[in-house]
Amino acid sequence: MELSLEQQKMIHIKPSRYSLIRGIQGSGKTTAAIYRSLYLKNNYCLYEEDKILMLASKDEDINYIENIYNRAEEETRLDYLSLFSNSERNFHVVTLESILHRYFIKYKNKHKLKNKIIVDNDKKNSIMKDCILEIKNIYPRLRILHTDYAQFFIEEVKWIKSCNYLKADLYLHVNRRGRKCEKGQGPQRILKNSTARKAIFQLMITYNEKLKSEGLVDNEDINIYALRMAQTTTVGRYSHIIIDKSNNLTKIQVDFINALFNEKSYSNMVFLLDVDRPHNSNSWMMKGKRVNTKPLGEKVKSYSFKKYYKTQEKLQKKCDEITSKNLDINSLENFKYCDIRHNRAYEFMRDYSRRSDIIVNDEKGNYEYINEELLELPVYSDIAAGEPMLINSEMEGKFYIPKYWLKGVKNPFILKVKGDSMIGAHINNGDYVVIRQEQAANNKDIVAVDIGGNATLKRLSINKDRILLMPENEKYQPIVVDSEDTYILGVAIGIIKHEN
């Protein structure tokens, strides 16, 4: 396998405690890390207990990593040989979720717990509302203790646990950034060392007690218990650890991985980060668009992969996937997504029988998005791009697109266009228009508007003396907005065009 210069540099560098490889998706970070593991195996696994762990983000990645490792091992069997080489395979690849669950089960058995995982959000809301009422008795003058804020407090408790702020002083004094909520759904700001923070911490304790009394644990508790178990045992530790797709690692998960680390003078822990992938709000490795290395506690050796890395293995993997799924190339639908907000476009495919799997083709090559990487949008049919007509309130179906295309967009939905009044804006009959649901818009925005129970798609024109809904076709006349029962349904932010 031909490796780039930046990959080779990273593979052969002397181990430092922490290393970070950042780059765009498909830039060869995983491939380089696998070759790195072989180099470490042959040069820095000095004793029998020295082992290498690679943590994948999902089960589907394990076979891919194993295949590359086997090929790389065969290819480099002479290149990386050293005095410390041995024939024993001490490279293990598992998902982070599976190893966390394994340690949670050990903790559960050791302490004879019978807790079940809570997944029902309605149940969480019910428990949280009971907790809010209890804490309200302690802080009767605190306005934020409102049952309407239950979801806000659930997310705040999740953040506290994810960050391992299980002592009151830690939570009271920490900077709390990135937490925003809609008006009426929670407070806009929680000051440091405030009564509000004290109440929220007490709320978390009460919430945990109620979960425990009902024999329940949440996902954050699983991570906490797994960490406690890992910290009390020296069995199963690794001299070298590689974490693939580590964008969404929380603080508690980073602490857990560190607990698995058998630190020696030659040990190495490598984090792989996709700088163009979205990350969740509880991520400890990403802060906004910046990579956060401070929590690792010391200087980190950093590498940046900026170019897309094409390998024959990737092409073969895609062919194998098509074969394994019995896909007929003629059954693939081709689409184009035009991003109005950022003035860019993506070509993508989906199969008739697997519409929730999307293959995107852009300047970085093909990438298949599945499961948690996708956003499910409801599709409503027959919005008029001509004369106003009644929008069909029944869903026509669902459309799946990558989440990062709609980053920051709340309540998006899709309207299928009927008519030709917007052809000047490249919106044609049969196109799917992605709408960001909201009740306000700016001048020149393309908007979906409800006029007396009828809906239409037009460009908004706001003048000093009147408001117009402008068509993009000379065949149609502007619509004057002079009725009180006219409402904006949302703003168009994207167009999906069928390319077949």
Q: What pLDDT is attached to residue 270?
A: 94
- Whether residues 59 and 197 fall in one domain: no
pLDDT of residue 327: 47
**Which helix or strand (DSSP H or E) is residue 52 part of?**
strand 52-56
Cβ count within 10 A of residue 475: 9
Q: Are residues 65 and 147 in the same domain?
A: no
Choose between 407 and 294: higher pLDDT. 407
Q: Which of 29, 494, 460, 38 is nearest to 244 (CA)?
A: 29
Per the domain annotation, does 432 fall within a domain? yes
Total length of the chain? 500
On whether residue 437 sits in a domain, the answer given is: yes
| Domain co-membership, 357 together with 464 | yes
Q: Where are the beta strands (DSSP E) in 294-430?
A: 301-305, 332-339, 344-351, 354-362, 365-369, 374-384, 395-402, 412-418
Q: Answer for the pair 240, 52: CB distance below 8 angstroms, yes or no.
A: yes
- How many angstroms separate the first and last alpha carbons of the chain? 36
The model's pLDDT over 261-313, given as tens digits with 9 standing for 90+, comes to 998 999 999 999 988 877 788 888 877 666 776 667 667 888 888 877 655 44
Question: Whole-prediction pTM value?
Answer: 0.62
- Asked whether residue 317 is domain-assigned, the answer is no
Neighbours of 263 (CB within 10 A): 12
Give the per-residue pLDDT at 151. Answer: 92
Q: Which residue matches tokens 């790389």?
A: 72
Are residues 64 and 10 located together in one domain of the fold? yes
Residue type, position 313, single letter: E
Tokens of 133: 């009422």
Residue indicated by tokens 């934020």 = 144
Please state, in angstroms and as integers, the Cα–Cα distance from residue 260 to each residue in 12, 106, 143, 240, 297, following that order.
24, 14, 43, 10, 17
Band (465; pLDDT cuts 50, 70, 90): confident
Does one domain contain both 161 and 256? no
Between 286 and 469, residue with greater pLDDT: 469
Question: Taking a C-beta distance cutoff of 8 angstroms, is the pair 21, 10 a contact?
Answer: yes
**Do 302 and 19 meet the contact criterion of CB atoms below 8 Å apart?**
yes
| Residues tagged active-site | 421, 458
pLDDT of residue 289: 60
Q: Compute the C-alpha angle 187/192/196, nearest 5°.
A: 45
Helices (H) and strands (E) in the chain, counts: 11, 23
- The answer on 270 and 240 residing in a single domain is yes
How many domains are contained in the chain? Answer: 3
Q: Are 244 and 124 found together in one domain?
A: no
Whether the predicted pLDDT of 249 surpasses 50: yes
pLDDT for the residue numbered 87: 52
Last residue of a domain, one of 193, 214, 235: 214
In DSSP terms, 413 is beta-bridged to: 435
Residue 316 above 50 pLDDT?
no
Question: Residue 81: pLDDT above 60?
Answer: no
Structure tokens at 455: 């809906």
Note the pLDDT of residue 322: 44
- Does any domain span residue 320? no
Q: Which of 188, 214, 240 is the last residue of a domain?
A: 214
pLDDT of residue 492: 95
Residue 319 lies in a domain: no
In a domain, 22, yes or no: yes
* pLDDT tens for each residue of 150-195: 999 999 999 999 999 999 999 999 887 656 677 778 887 788 999 9
237 and 281 share a domain?
yes
Between CA 476 and CA 479 the distance in angstroms is: 9
For the chain, the average pLDDT equals: 84
CA separation for the pair 252, 294 (Å, rounded) = 15
Phi, psi of 453, rounded to the nearest 5 degrees:
95, -5
Q: CA-to-CA distance for 272 and 65, rounded, in angstroms?
A: 14
Do both 483 and 352 map to the same domain? yes
**What is the span of the domain harbouring residue 18?**
5-108+223-305
Output the pLDDT for position 323: 45
Overall average pLDDT of the 219-239 stretch: 93
Give me the pLDDT at residue 179, please. Answer: 65
Of 214, 242, 269, the domain-final residue: 214
Is the same domain home to 414 and 296?
no
CB-based contact 200:156 (threshold 8 Å):
yes
Q: Which has more confidence, 38 or 184?
A: 38
Pair 375, 357 in one domain: yes
Q: Is residue 311 situated within a structural domain?
A: no
Q: Does residue 387 register a pLDDT over 70?
A: no
Which CATH number characterizes residue 30's domain?
Answer: 3.40.50.300
Is 126 in the same domain as 64?
A: no
166 domain residue, yes or no: yes
Mean pLDDT of 211-226: 93
Domain CATH for 378: 2.10.109.10
pLDDT at 285: 80
Contact 421, 458 (CB under 8 A): yes
Q: What is the pLDDT of residue 500?
A: 63
